[in-house]
């Protein structure tokens, strides 16, 4: 699967040095792009997201938050109204399911807002004279690309995922 690694090369950093470092590490030149104007940056970042991990974390937090409500509802139904064990299991399951869905949903939208902030950051950086470096690589080499960019003091290095 393909991964995209991006980072902002500030105007006082030589783009050629970063490109040479990537080339020496075996990254093909046709998989490395340098974007220098706002429309290119917006086009590149459109339809991307950085929320893959965040949705899982949000789901877990939602379960932790809403799961106990399901447990309490199930126990109350059992003790107060005499409902059977199926009701208890159902309400616990519903609490967990609702929590997971709500948490993942909230994390997704928080992630979208974060992506818009990142897009604005990169766009502003390019507007002020920086360049956005974009590397398309497979999953196995994405961490290496990120490390190289960080070694070259490239700013705001991130993994992006296509929004399909």
pLDDT (0 to 100) of residue 22: 92
Residues 98 and 63 in one domain: yes
Q: For residue range 44-100, list pLDDT tens digits in order.
A: 666 554 444 556 666 777 777 777 777 777 777 777 777 788 877 887 788 787 877
Q: Is the pLDDT of residue 12 over 70?
A: no
More confident residue, 66 or 123: 123
Output the domain CATH number for residue 156: 3.30.70.120
Residue 26: which domain range?
1-36+129-164
> Is residue 41 assigned to a domain?
no
More confident residue, 29 or 38: 29
> Is residue 89 assigned to a domain?
yes
Residues 79 and 110 in one domain: yes
Residues 114 and 133 in one domain: no
CB atoms under 10 Å from CB of 119, counted, come to 16
Residues 108 and 134 in one domain: no
Whose structure tokens read 């999953």? 139
Residues 107 and 133 in one domain: no
Residues 60 and 114 in one domain: yes
> Is residue 124 assigned to a domain?
no
Residues 56 and 109 in one domain: yes
Whose structure tokens read 């995209």? 4
> Is residue 46 assigned to a domain?
no
> Is residue 45 assigned to a domain?
no
> Mean pLDDT over all residues of the chain?
77
**Sheet strands (E) in 18-162:** 32-35, 48-49, 131-138, 155-162
Count of domains for the chain? 2
> Is residue 23 assigned to a domain?
yes
Residues 150 and 101 in one domain: no
Helix, strand, coil percent values for the chain (each to nearest 5): 65, 20, 15
Residues 67 and 31 in one domain: no
């Amino acid at each position: 699967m393909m991964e995209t690694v991006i980072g902002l090369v500030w105007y006082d950093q030589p783009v050629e040095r970063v490109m040479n470092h990537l080339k020496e590490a075996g990254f093909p030149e046709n998989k490395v792009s340098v974007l220098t104007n706002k429309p290119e940056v917006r086009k590149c970042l459109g339809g991307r997201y950085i929320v893959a991990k965040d949705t899982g974390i949000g789901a877990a937090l939602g379960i932790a938050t809403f799961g106990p409500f399901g447990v309490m509802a199930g126990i109350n139904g059992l003790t107060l109204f005499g409902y059977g064990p199926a009701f208890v299991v159902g309400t616990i399951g519903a609490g967990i399911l609702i929590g997971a869905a709500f948490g993942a949903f909230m994390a997704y939208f928080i992630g979208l807002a974060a992506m818009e902030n990142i897009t604005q950051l990169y766009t502003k950086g390019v507007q002020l004279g920086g360049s956005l470096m974009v590397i398309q690589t497979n999953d196995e080499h994405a961490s290496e690309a990120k490390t190289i960019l960080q070694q070259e003091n490239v700013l705001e290095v991130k993994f992006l995922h296509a929004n399909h």
